[in-house]
Each structure stands twice: as C-alpha cells, then as structure tokens.
Amino acid sequence: MKRGTAKRTAKAPVRKTRPKSSGSGASVVVQLDAIEDDGGDGTLDLGGGVSLSVSSLGKVFFPRDRITKGDVMRYYAQVEEAILPVMRDRPLVLKRYPDGIDGQSFYQQKAPDKVPPAVRAETIRNERGEQQRRLIGGDLATLLYTIQLGAVSVDTWHSRVPRLELADFTILDLDPGPKAPFSRVVEVAKLVHEELDALSLTAVPKTSGSSGMHIVVPLQPGVSDETAVLAAQLIATRVASRAPAIATVERSVRARPAGTVYVDYLQNIRAKTVAAAYAVRARPGATVSTPLEWKEVDRSLDPREFTIETVPGRLRRRGDIWARDMKKGNSIRALLDTPIRAAKAPR
C-alpha cells in the first residue's frame, strides 16, 4: 500500500510500493498518489460528477508502521467493490483518531452538521427512539469522508435503512481473555462451526483484525433484531455448555477465567457494531478484518497476516468470500426450537 523506498522524515513517511488496483478505484488511487505527493490537500474526482475534498494525506495514522491517512484511503479505494456492499444502507459509527492510533480517540454517532454534497447522511431513529442524523454507508465518497475525519475502521449497524428493526445477520464475537492465546480462539471457532453444522446453519468466519474472531450467520429477511440476539445467545450457550474450560458467556470481565474465550452474543443489540468485513483496524500493522474459508481456521491461522498491504492481493486471488458465502440467509426456526444442553456455562 505504501509507495517509495527512500528514507524520509517523520512528516514524510515512507510508502513501500504503489498499490495495484482495478475498476474505478484505480483512478482514485492515482489521484490520491498525486495529491499526497503535491502536499496532501486536493479534490478527488470520484466519477459521475461526484467530488470530495481531502487534506493532510501525509498525516501519519500508524506511527510504528509509517502508514498515512493517504495509505488508508488508497486501501479502501482498492477494495471498494468488496466493502461498499457490506456497508450499503447501514448507519455508521465512527471512532476518530485525530492524532493517529496512538493518540486519544473518541466515538462519533451523529453526522457532522455540514457534510459535503456527495456524502450520504440521513435522519434515523436510534436505539432510544430519538431522531438523529447519521452517516449512511454504501458509496466511496462517504467511506473516504470518514477517513478524512480521522476514522480508520468501518463499523456498521447490523441492519439497513429504512428497516432498522430487522437484522440481516447475527454475529458471535470471540473475545479471548488475557491468558488465552489465539490458538484457543481458533479452537472455540471450530466448536461454533460444529454447533452450526449440527443445526444445519451456515456462517462466515472472519478475523476481527484484533485479537479475536467473528462468526457471522446470515439470516433470511424479516428477522427482528431481538430474535437475532436470541439466536446468537442460544448458539453461544451451546458452545459454552459444551466446553466450559475454554469458552464462556459470562458477561462480567472479572468473573471470566482469564484463559477462556468470551463468546459474546450481545453485539447483536440494536445499534451495537463490530468492525465490518474488509475494515482496517486501529492496530499495529494496519490489520484488516478479513473473511475466511472454514478450512483456513486452523492452528496456523495468524490474524497479523491480513493487512492493508496483503488483503487487496488476497481478494484478487481468492475472490470475495464474504459476498459469496453471505448470499443465502439461514432460517433460525430450528435453532429456536432446539433445547440447550443440560450443562451450564460458568458464571
């Protein structure tokens, strides 16, 4: 993702290679290169009469990796065909890093009072029933605008406007305790897979881009967000009941054994978010939350291998796993009729 090889000062970080791209993102990458090389401020032509002003593209977002705001924008331009459908019609929650990922950060729920004409912002009813104006994903201008504001990741609701009470997937967030290695996350992910197979349910595993994994179960249309929470709770409880030594649904951090993996189903509550598929995380190495095939979920899996440098090439080689495997929604009727095993998860 990064360009050039000569050593530079802290204000002009090194970028390794010019990224390869195709489609409309290729033009945007070229424009970002030119703007950053010309001082970092300029206007992008996104086609169809759409433009977006950007600034300070040379600003370092990842100090240890010398990755700039421009590098992050280039990545998203490269993978736009994969990530924009993931974001489409979903309200966005921003976590902004005005001084890079090592500086202070803050969450932003509401859209700014004034947004560029090309950026999508709509008034929705939030989880408390209040009307709020929010940024809505689905186009490159809105995505790049969030990076312009200092965001890194793409964090979306699990539902789409206008039917925000309906979820189109349910998710299990595997969150390891401080003494649980990533190999244990993989072990729990495999248990989740076995439980899903037993229930004739399909799911897409992905790295979280951090220390855990996400198991995402696509749903048939018309499932309420309350039902999505219940479905995830049932699956999580089955896993924790089966393997209490390594998996838990205990909500209290202090009460969880340090070596277990928390199978979190509460991320499905309305307006909760997790990093979207293909989203960059504010972690060293600029890791990416990357969809996987189940055969990749083994002890050799290393989430640090999926970065803004490697994921575009992976997409070209393997195709869009997310789009392919999220097409068919699951019926969860059988799951809701299935009793939980008698064993109880630790509390």
Token digits of residue 196: 């899903």
Report pLDDT for 18. 44
Tell whether the torsion through CA atoms of 148, 153, 157 and 161 is positive or negative.
positive
Q: Which domains does the chain have, with CATH numbers?
A: 24-156 (3.90.920.10), 169-336 (3.90.920.10)
Q: Choose among 46, 40, 43: nearest CA to 27.
A: 46
Report pLDDT for 14. 40
Can you say how many angstroms the Cα of residue 34 is from the centroid of all Cα atoms in its chain?
A: 28
Q: Choose among 67, 84, 271: nearest CA to 165.
A: 271
CB count, 10 Å around CB of 7?
8
Model pTM greater than 0.85? yes
pLDDT in tens, the chain (347 residues): 555 322 333 333 444 444 444 456 789 999 999 999 999 999 999 999 999 999 999 999 999 999 999 999 999 999 999 999 999 999 999 999 999 999 999 999 999 999 999 999 999 988 888 899 999 999 999 999 999 999 999 999 999 999 999 999 999 999 999 999 999 999 999 999 999 999 999 999 999 999 999 999 999 999 999 999 999 999 999 999 999 999 999 999 999 999 999 999 999 998 899 999 999 999 999 999 999 999 999 999 999 999 999 999 999 999 999 999 999 899 988 777 766 553 343 33
CB count, 10 Å around CB of 33?
17
- DSSP category for residue 134: E
Token digits of residue 294: 């189940």
Q: Choose among 208, 220, 240, 237: nearest CA to 306.
A: 208
Report pLDDT for 284. 95
